[in-house]
């Protein structure tokens, strides 16, 4: 699923001329990501941090043979931006934009499925492979090359988990923020499949939230397919029903969607579960044996 990321792929940024697009383009360039073109309709010929801007994704892709697009387009225009990338043949889309209507994502995800395009997000921080590639807004400074794979629904806890692991000398193979919206592309199960298949991943960290059934699906997959040590933490143990924590995906509609219920299902599936982020990092540190980890 993420194999193309290790081949130094060309990347484009849709919405590169906006404040956030321009800022994070510079950060990706500083991290060594090959941002080769930007796209903003009507801004062709401009240059942002030395990156040429084009009017369309097709023009940008044809010029630099990009396979990945990072999207910083405002929510009202994000559907059109993603569909344009899909139609242009982009293989991987990282959509940072939050607030995209559910109906818009229904259409986008259907088109992506038909085209075989992988979407991470929306409303996500993106993906970081330390010392390899930075796609999105996860700070390069928090990562440390290693063999632990981290996947999280919570953007903030993606950062905190990775930074805390790095502080203990525990490096990461992948840091993936899949986003907090109800409808999104890449799921926990998609990431778990990649982590299990990658021989350079020795341990897996999964961070979930209240709301929805993604963690339950992950638990079922873990039970049947994951043989590597897996550590999990579900945010929101004190949240009462109907509570929303930050974004649309984290709304607990029933006890089935509670942190307690999800934690128990993950425990029953074989995961080692924690009740707080510090505890999660500590149990990973206690189980992690660097001599048994195969580094990339």
So which residues are the catalytic ones? 247
Separation of alpha carbons 185 and 138, rounded Å:
18
Residue 207: helix, strand or coil by DSSP?
Answer: strand
b (16+ CB within 10 A) / e for 164-176:
bbbeeebbbbbbb
Q: Which two tokens stand for residue 246?
A: 């930050």
Separation of alpha carbons 258 and 267, rounded Å:
14
Residue 12 CA: distances (Å) to CA of 27, 33, 51, 53, 64? 14, 10, 9, 9, 9
Cβ-Cβ contacts under 8 Å for 209 (sequence gap 6 or more): 153, 154, 180, 234, 235, 236, 245, 249, 250, 259
SS (HEC) of 213-274 = CHHHHHHHHHHHHCCCCEEEEEECCCCCCCCECCCCCCECCCHHHCHHHHHHHHHHCCCEEE
Cβ atoms 25, 69 nearer than 8 A = no
Q: How many helices (H) and strands (E) does the chain have?
A: 9, 14
């Amino acid at each position: 699923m993420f194999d193309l990321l290790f081949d130094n792929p060309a990347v484009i940024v849709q919405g590169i001329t906006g404040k956030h697009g321009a800022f994070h383009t510079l950060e990706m360039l500083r991290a060594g990501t090959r941002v080769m073109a930007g796209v903003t309709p009507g801004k062709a010929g401009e240059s942002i941090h030395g990156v040429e801007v084009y009017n369309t994704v097709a023009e940008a892709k044809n010029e630099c043979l990009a396979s990945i697009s990072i999207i910083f387009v405002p929510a009202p225009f994000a559907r059109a931006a993603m569909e344009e990338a899909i139609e242009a043949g982009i293989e991987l889309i990282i959509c940072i934009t939050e607030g995209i209507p559910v109906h818009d994502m229904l259409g986008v995800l259907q088109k992506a499925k038909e085209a075989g395009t992988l979407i991470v997000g929306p409303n996500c921080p993106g993906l970081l492979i330390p010392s390899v590639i930075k796609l999105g807004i996860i700070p390069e400074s928090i990562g440390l090359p290693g063999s632990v794979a981290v996947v999280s629904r919570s953007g903030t806890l993606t950062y905190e988990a990775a930074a805390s692991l790095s502080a203990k000398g525990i490096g990461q193979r992948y840091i993936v923020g899949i986003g907090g919206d109800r409808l999104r592309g890449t799921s926990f199960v998609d990431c778990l499949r990649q982590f299990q298949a990658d021989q350079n991943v020795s341990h897996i960290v999964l961070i979930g939230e209240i709301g929805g059934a993604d963690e339950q699906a992950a638990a079922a997959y873990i039970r049947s397919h994951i043989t590597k040590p897996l550590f999990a933490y579900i945010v929101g143990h004190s949240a009462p029903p109907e509570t929303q924590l930050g974004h649309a995906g984290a709304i607990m509609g029933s006890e089935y969607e509670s942190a307690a219920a999800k934690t128990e299902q993950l425990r029953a599936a074989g995961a080692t579960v924690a009740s707080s982020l510090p505890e999660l990092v500590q149990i990973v540190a206690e189980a992690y044996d660097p001599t048994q980890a195969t580094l990339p």
